[in-house]
Amino acid sequence: MSMLRKNHRKAHLFTLALIAVLAGCSTAKVNDPGTSSSPNATPAPEPAKRGAIHVSVYDRGNIPPEEGNWDKNRWVEWINKNGPVDVKYTPVPRWESFPKFNALLASGSAPDLILEYDANYRNSWYSQKLLMPIDEMIDKYSTNYKQILEKYPLLRKIGTKEDGKLYEIGRLNVVAPHHRLLIREDWLQKLNLQVPTTTEELYNVAKAFVTQDPDGNGKKDTFGINLSGVGFSVISHIFGRSIDWAEQNGNFVHDWERLQASVEFQKRLFDDGLVDKDFLTDKNGQKGIQDFMNGKLGIFAIDSAWFTISNYETLKKNNPTAKVIPMALPKSQFGQFSPIISTPVQMVGVVNAKAKDPKAIMQYIDWMVDPEHASLLKNGIEGTHSQKGSNGCLQPIDTEKNKKELYTDDLNMMRSDLLLGKCAEVYLVNLRPEVPTQKELLDINLKSKEIYINKDRPIPSLGYDFLPVLPDDLQAIVKSTSKSNNIDKGDIWLKALVGGTGYTAQQAVKDAKDVWEKAGGKQVDDYYAKWYENNKTKAFSIDDLYKFAEQSQKELK
């Protein structure tokens, strides 16, 4: 328990309680018959046979060859040596998980425990009756996870399906900014500009960053803002657009109006040359990151996972006088909002209906969610991969070494960061304020948290995790329209952005509506509208999210 001594009192006591229960239920050590105090002593019972299960793991191709693979590596061996069951991992390509899982399920060779982030995929398997309810296995065999459910009933509420049974295993996240909008403050100061607070001001500042030579090299080689990476998403959030459906005036509707406003604004940025004209080829946003680090991008919509120490230090090396600050999303005609924040309660796992050993599955889940084991898989071995910093939290010793040896995130998907206490906020505690660039990054991260975790500027709507499971026929409608209408990368929206005066945002919305209605989309809209009408007083809401965020912050202190 030494790794957890610095955690807040509640998480510490909770962890002790979990471990105490486990200790009380564990098999007693078998005595050596040769040391028995009585010649007639009853022989100690044989230890219970270990269960054996298969568990999925995302394969990102990030295990160095010298470390092994998902059949054998240092962490697979550590889990099998120290854990309660024998486990074999079934690797699944991260970005092709749905077809791979479907093939495994169809062939009867799917793993017992399926770990998958995408709610739509899990919902599809539920509707096909491919999943096992887990209420009974929790009641019979669980200690740790059962106690977590009791303390945080939202996990049960969100993991329960329409038949009233619990199917999904979840985790508790620290509520943190997921996307951000960063701006070069030094450019603003040089051009005598203020941080933009409206969409029109945002446009004007982006234009100034392109036309007024903010880097002072005498060339027109800077971009105002990015559309690649998470740019489309962040700008859509400015206009109150998150997913296709949103609560408006007490109803749950398919929101076309805000989408059109977002596309119109992005189209204007593109047509007027304020963004990289080649943004469509920047599929994963890496060129946008390079532009920012090279000092060529003034306003950067970025995923927090990309805003690393390494990237920030590269920016400062290339541009020593650069000053970066996070900015609140500007107000639009629909109000003022925040970009995506992490989901406080997230479902991540389901059990195969054909699993043969529910007890072993539950033993594995209980062991993996234990904060001590989760912390070790997150931070590595203390003294080898991490050491306690001045704040009492484990910090990396050698980031390059950890890149090679700490490929554990996908093994650790069931980890509840909230149970790790104050040290869970890695984007804060992993930074060393005695290092100037890291102190700057820490200040940026703290300000981001203050700006974006704010109920006065809420996220526009909750994600798909909080919507009901669509029946198969309605899921087929959504899937059939995804290529053209997908909220971020649908062909229609991308065509509108680069189509000039010949293809307007208004025409794009009209075409998207036609595709949707011809596919039977009104049935989906009606299904969600009816669900919302019947459940709006009891479903998890945005208000619930911010209340949970406030509660979790108190527990982290």
Half-sphere CA count of 173, side-chain side, radius 13 A: 16
Clarify whether residues 152 and 166 are in a common domain: yes
Domain annotation covers residue 518: no
pLDDT at 538: 83
- CATH number for position 72: 3.40.190.10
Clarify whether residues 332 and 364 are in a common domain: no
Domain annotation covers residue 113: yes
Clarify whether residues 363 and 269 are in a common domain: no
pLDDT at 4: 34
What single-letter DSSP state applies at residue 391? T
pLDDT at 11: 40
Clarify whether residues 137 and 155 are in a common domain: yes
How far is it, in rounded angstroms, from Cα 256 to Cα 11?
Answer: 44
Written as tens digits, the pLDDT of the chain (557 aa) is: 333 333 344 444 344 344 344 344 433 333 332 333 333 445 556 667 899 999 999 999 999 999 999 999 999 999 999 999 999 999 999 989 999 999 999 999 999 999 999 988 998 899 899 999 999 999 999 999 999 999 999 899 999 998 999 999 999 998 899 999 999 999 999 999 999 999 999 999 999 999 999 999 999 999 999 999 999 999 999 999 999 999 888 899 999 999 999 999 999 999 999 999 999 998 778 999 999 999 999 999 999 888 888 899 999 999 999 999 999 999 999 999 999 998 889 999 999 999 999 999 999 999 999 999 999 999 999 999 999 988 888 988 898 899 899 999 999 999 999 999 888 887 787 788 889 999 999 999 999 999 999 999 999 998 887 888 888 899 899 989 988 887 667 899 999 999 999 999 999 999 999 999 999 999 999 999 999 999 888 888 899 889 888 888 887 76
Helix (H, G, I), strand (E, B) or coil at 386: strand
Q: Which residue has the tokens 């999925």?
A: 56
Domain annotation covers residue 363: yes
Domain annotation covers residue 204: yes
Clarify whether residues 187 and 210 are in a common domain: yes
Domain annotation covers residue 497: no
How far is it, in rounded angstroms, from Cα 478 to Cα 486?
Answer: 9
User: If we measure between CA atoms, which residue out of 377, 431, 488, 478 comes closest to residue 76?
Assistant: 377
First to last CA, the chain: 19
Clarify whether residues 139 and 276 are in a common domain: no
Q: Report the number of distinct structural domains present in the chain.
A: 2
Q: Where are the beta strands (DSSP E) in 276-425?
A: 297-303, 324-326, 345-351, 386-388, 394-396
Domain of 83 in residue numbering reads as 2-22+47-175+343-422
pLDDT at 331: 98
pLDDT at 45: 61
How far is it, in rounded angstroms, from Cα 98 to Cα 534?
Answer: 31
Domain annotation covers residue 553: no
Domain annotation covers residue 403: yes
Domain annotation covers residue 528: no
Clarify whether residues 187 and 332 are in a common domain: yes
DSSP H helices, 152-230, are 154-159, 185-190, 199-211
Residues 484, 492: contact at Cβ < 8 Å? yes
Clarify whether residues 168 and 315 are in a common domain: no
Clarify whether residues 194 and 117 are in a common domain: no
pLDDT at 36: 34
Clarify whether residues 190 and 272 are in a common domain: yes
pLDDT at 400: 87
Give the tokens for residue 132.
Answer: 């096992």
pLDDT at 40: 46
Give the tokens for residue 507.
Answer: 């025409």
Clarify whether residues 208 and 249 are in a common domain: yes
pLDDT at 43: 56
pTM, two decimals, is: 0.79
DSSP 345-371: EEEEEEEBTT-S-HHHHHHHHHHHHSH
How far is it, in rounded angstroms, from Cα 30 to Cα 27?
Answer: 9
Clarify whether residues 189 and 329 are in a common domain: yes
β-pairing verdict for 245-248 and 386-388: unpaired
